[in-house]
């Protein structure tokens, strides 16, 4: 299954929408209170074939393309509950392993992620470094046939639930970007040298576990150095970040489509001055502008998906998609909330959750200011 037919993607869209709207979104308050989702939902997603769809069937994946993965991320955003961090679990972590792990490691790790038996995370950000990956201070020192890792990470999605984590660490602190390496570590609550910190309290995405992580002489086998050679980490990150940024653009599209649909339904039933809110010129003009931006975003995102499937999505275009789509996401959701009036500020209305959940999109996967700098470098 290499080329995606429209019918195939539509069927997948229906399957994913049913999963998120019936099995995940109704439990939003439960997950927000716990600060993490129910692990069983990862198993359920694995049973449905929704995880690792673009990874080879040899390693437990679906053998399809990123176009299939994009359906998952879009439908999750549309359903309005982001407690499961599937962008990281299915869209980011497996692709580092697929690109840089050995065949034996792929057979060990990827099927577990595909089944939802394990949850994946990636630890780049540190308390003192956000988008500046060259400034990472976590150390990995070779001792015999192991690496000993020490340092701290923060804002780690899936940090409280992960079983497999990719760690960015310095193997040569004197080398700047050239001294960075990536390691895969199998972790549990009782792993020596590994400690999960507190679940961080966020203004949005409250059901998604984001934590601090601490490494105090965490020992990993030397073969868990991804790519097998020290100093390749920065290049590996640069190779994988375009897909991560495209995922942000895809999710932004799902969010604005949901915001528009909720708002259109609301203004047609809400009565103001004796007639539907939709009858007022301002409402109609706002929605006309919004739906036009969404149509442009959809075209832009779908073009980027096709470029990526063909192996042609470059750093500049990925940064443009992330920058523009996340900017539009926050603006459109804000305009849709305004059309709800006071009810838009009430948590029982989906638009309120879309509003707080969307704000992070301009920050993660590289802040939008960094995206502008990346685009400018290619001018």
Residue 127 lies in a domain: yes
Residue 294 lies in a domain: yes
Q: What is the mean pLDDT of residues 30-44?
A: 98
Check whether residue 128 and residue 152 sit in a common domain.
Answer: yes
Check whether residue 267 and residue 202 sit in a common domain.
Answer: no
Domain boundary among 118, 149, 183: 118
Q: 180-186 and 164-170 as β-strands: parallel, antiparallel, unpaired?
A: antiparallel
Q: What is the mean pLDDT of residues 228-245?
A: 96
- pLDDT digits 0-9 by tens, 160-200: 999 999 999 999 999 989 999 999 999 999 999 999 999 99
Check whether residue 250 and residue 350 sit in a common domain.
Answer: yes
In sign, the C-alpha dihedral spanning 21, 300, 51, 57 is: positive
Domain region containing 212: 121-229
Split into its structural domains, the chain has a count of 3
- pLDDT digits 0-9 by tens, 119-143: 999 999 999 876 677 789 999 999 9
CATH number at residue 247: 1.20.140.10
**What is the C-alpha to C-alpha distance for residues 146 and 81, in angstroms, rounded to an integer?**
40
**Does the pLDDT value for residue 359 go beyond 60?**
yes
Residue 373 lies in a domain: yes
Check whether residue 195 and residue 184 sit in a common domain.
Answer: yes
Domain boundary among 229, 262, 292: 229
**What is the C-alpha to C-alpha distance for residues 134 and 139, in angstroms, rounded to an integer?**
13
Cβ burial, residue 3 (10 Å; 0-12/13-18/19+): exposed
What is the share, in percent, of the chain residues with pLDDT greater than 70? 99
Residue 297 lies in a domain: yes
Check whether residue 177 and residue 253 sit in a common domain.
Answer: no
Q: Which residues are known catalytic residues?
A: 244
What's residue 2's pLDDT?
42
Check whether residue 96 and residue 160 sit in a common domain.
Answer: no
Check whether residue 220 and residue 113 sit in a common domain.
Answer: no
Check whether residue 200 and residue 296 sit in a common domain.
Answer: no
**What is the C-alpha to C-alpha distance for residues 54 and 283, in angstroms, rounded to an integer?**
41
CATH number at residue 96: 1.10.540.10
Check whether residue 111 and residue 68 sit in a common domain.
Answer: yes
Provide the 8-state DSSP code for 217.
E
**What is the C-alpha to C-alpha distance for residues 8 and 201, in angstroms, rounded to an integer?**
39
Residue 87 lies in a domain: yes
- From residue 73, alpha-carbon distances to 22, 241, 333 in Å are 16, 16, 18
- pLDDT digits 0-9 by tens, 240-265: 999 999 999 999 999 999 999 999 99
Residue 1 lies in a domain: no
Residue 157 lies in a domain: yes
**What is the C-alpha to C-alpha distance for residues 289 and 94, in angstroms, rounded to an integer?**
38
Check whether residue 310 and residue 371 sit in a common domain.
Answer: yes
What is the share, in percent, of the chain residues with pLDDT greater than 90? 96
Token pair of 231, please?
């100093």
What's residue 58's pLDDT?
98
1 — pLDDT class (breaks 50, 70, 90):
very low
Instruction: Calculate ∠ Cα 257-258-259, nearest 5°.
Output: 90
CATH number at residue 143: 2.40.110.10
**What is the C-alpha to C-alpha distance for residues 192 and 172, in angstroms, rounded to an integer?**
24
Q: Read out DSSP for 67-135?
A: HHHHHHHHHHHHHT---S-HIIIIIIHHHHHHHHS-HHHHHHHHHHHHHTSS-EEEE--BTTBSS-GGG
Token pair of 299, please?
């075209």
Strand pairing partners for 143? 146
**Does the pLDDT value for residue 370 go beyond 70?**
yes
3 — pLDDT class (breaks 50, 70, 90):
low
**What is the C-alpha to C-alpha distance for residues 121 and 157, in angstroms, rounded to an integer?**
6
Domain boundary among 118, 152, 173: 118
CA–chain centroid gap for 63, Å, is: 21
Check whether residue 112 and residue 85 sit in a common domain.
Answer: yes
Check whether residue 85 and residue 172 sit in a common domain.
Answer: no
What's residue 176's pLDDT?
87
- pLDDT digits 0-9 by tens, 48-85: 999 999 999 999 999 999 999 999 999 999 999 999 99
Residue 369 lies in a domain: yes
Tell me which of 45 and 128 has the higher pLDDT. 45
**Contact in structure between 156 and 166 (CB atoms under 8 Å):** no
What's residue 135's pLDDT?
84
């Amino acid at each position: 299954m290499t080329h995606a037919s429209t019918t195939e993607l539509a069927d997948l869209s229906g399957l994913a929408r049913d999963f998120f709207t019936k099995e995940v979104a109704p439990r939003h308050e439960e997950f927000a209170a716990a600060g993490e989702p129910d692990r069983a939902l990862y198993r359920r997603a694995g049973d449905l074939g929704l995880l690792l769809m673009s990874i080879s069937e040899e390693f437990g994946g679906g053998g399809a393309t990123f176009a299939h993965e994009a359906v998952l991320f879009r439908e999750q955003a549309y359903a309005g509950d982001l407690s499961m961090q599937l962008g990281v679990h299915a869209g980011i972590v497996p692709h580092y392993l697929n690109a840089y792990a050995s065949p034996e490691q792929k057979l060990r790790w990827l099927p577990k992620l595909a089944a939802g038996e394990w949850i994946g995370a990636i630890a780049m950000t540190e308390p003192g470094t956000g988008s500046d990956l060259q400034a990472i201070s976590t150390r990995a020192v070779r001792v015999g046939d192991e690496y000993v890792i020490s340092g701290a990470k923060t804002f780690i999605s899936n940090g409280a639930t992960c079983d497999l984590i990719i760690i960015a660490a310095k193997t040569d602190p004197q080398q700047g970007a050239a001294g960075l390496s990536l390691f895969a570590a199998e972790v549990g609550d009782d792993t020596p040298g590994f400690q999960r910190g507190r679940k961080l309290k966020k203004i949005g995405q409250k059901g998604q576990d984001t934590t601090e992580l601490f490494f105090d002489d965490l020992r990993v086998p030397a073969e868990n150095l991804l790519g097998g050679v020290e100093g390749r980490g920065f290049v590996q990150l640069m190779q994988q970040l375009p897909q991560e940024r495209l995922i942000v653009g895809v999710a932004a599209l799902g969010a604005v489509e949901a915001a528009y649909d909720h708002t259109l339904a609301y203004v047609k039933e809400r009565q103001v001055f004796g007639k539907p809110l939709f009858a007022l010129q301002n409402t109609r003009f706002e929605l006309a502008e919004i739906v036009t931006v969404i149509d442009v975003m959809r075209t832009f995102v779908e073009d980027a998906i096709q470029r990526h499937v063909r192996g042609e999505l470059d750093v500049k275009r990925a940064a443009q998609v992330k920058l523009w789509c996340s900017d539009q996401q926050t603006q459109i959701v804000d305009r849709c909330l305004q059309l709800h009036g006071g009810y838009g500020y009430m948590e029982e209305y989906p638009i309120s959750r879309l509003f707080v959940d969307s704000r992070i999109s301009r920050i993660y996967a590289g802040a939008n200011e960094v995206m502008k700098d990346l685009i400018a470098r290619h001018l």
